[in-house]
Amino acid sequence: MTTAKDRSTARTLADIFPMLGLIITAGPLTLRAITDDDLAALCDLAEEGIHPAEQMPFAFPWTDAPAGELARNTVQYHWRVRAGFTPAAWSLQLGVWRDGELVGTQGIETSNFLVTRTGETGSWLGRRFQGRGIGTAMRQAICAFAFDHLEATELTSGAFLDNPASLAVSRKVGYTENGVVRMQRRPGELALNRHLVLRPPQLVRGPDPIEVDGLPAFRAAIGLDPASGPDSAR
């Protein structure tokens, strides 16, 4: 076993926890882990607004929290997601930067991925960055990553029927409709949520091919390439 004393260079957190070293680029977009240094900027973006107050695109209405509380909840959510990351159940919630500016998040969440080979995508952008094609491009990037580099067999998504932008992104990226479910959205409010499914041949790719850094270590971390020793994911 390699000990700290044997190592010629100090390890980084990404060496220990590979999702922190994963970087997906697609033209002007960069998708990478949200570090503690990014969280305050992400909270500012969320508190500036993601949707009109009377609407609610999220199944859990986290954006209804008042400012301050919303920021704390956002920080705790990202810490929780990171802390709960295991090969059996992982949620990869990446920040999205466009030309170096933080614009939102793009996630993929799954359990028992080695068996199911499926994952649910979810995303949001700060309002001032919406309607410019970024949502489509970041979804295309995460789907290409999951199919090309993680050997996913399908991806799913869901959007309320009164969220035309999200439904339009799913349609443009190639997802097909997979039923409608009745959900409670805000307390006491019924909302219809359309399920969507995408398989590799249907993916409509973006104009910019993706490039991935940190892939071998990330694949090992989710159990795709069995690790051969304690430091093999490095």
Ligand X SMILES: CC(C)(COP(=O)(O)OP(=O)(O)OC[C@H]1O[C@@H](n2cnc3c(N)ncnc32)[C@H](O)[C@@H]1OP(=O)(O)O)[C@@H](O)C(=O)NCCC(=O)NCCS
Does residue 84 touch ligand X according to CB under 6 A? no
Cβ–Cβ < 8 Å for 168, 139: no
The token duo for 166 is 């999200």
DSSP 87: S
Choose one: 94-102, 140-148, 165-173, 203-211; the region binding ligand X (CB under 6 A).
165-173
Q: Interface residues for ligand X in 98-137 (CB under 6 A)?
A: 123-125, 130-136
Mode of pairing for the β-strands spanning 89-98 and 29-33 = antiparallel
* Strands, sheet with 190-198, edge to edge from the N-terminal-most edge strand: 176-184, 190-198, 154-160, 118-125, 101-111, 89-98, 29-33, 23-26, 210-213
Does residue 155 touch ligand X according to CB under 6 A? no
**H/E element, 220:** helix 215-221
Does residue 144 touch ligand X according to CB under 6 A? no
Query: Which one of 26, 29, 163, 222 is in contact with ligand X (CB under 6 A)?
Result: 163
The residue assigned the tokens 């910019």 is 208
Query: Which one of 50, 141, 196, 217 is in contact with ligand X (CB under 6 A)?
Result: 50
Query: Which one of 91, 93, 166, 218 is in contact with ligand X (CB under 6 A)?
Result: 166
Residue nearest to ligand X (CB): 135
Binding site for ligand X (CB under 6 A): 50-51, 57-58, 123-125, 130-136, 159, 163-166, 168-169, 172
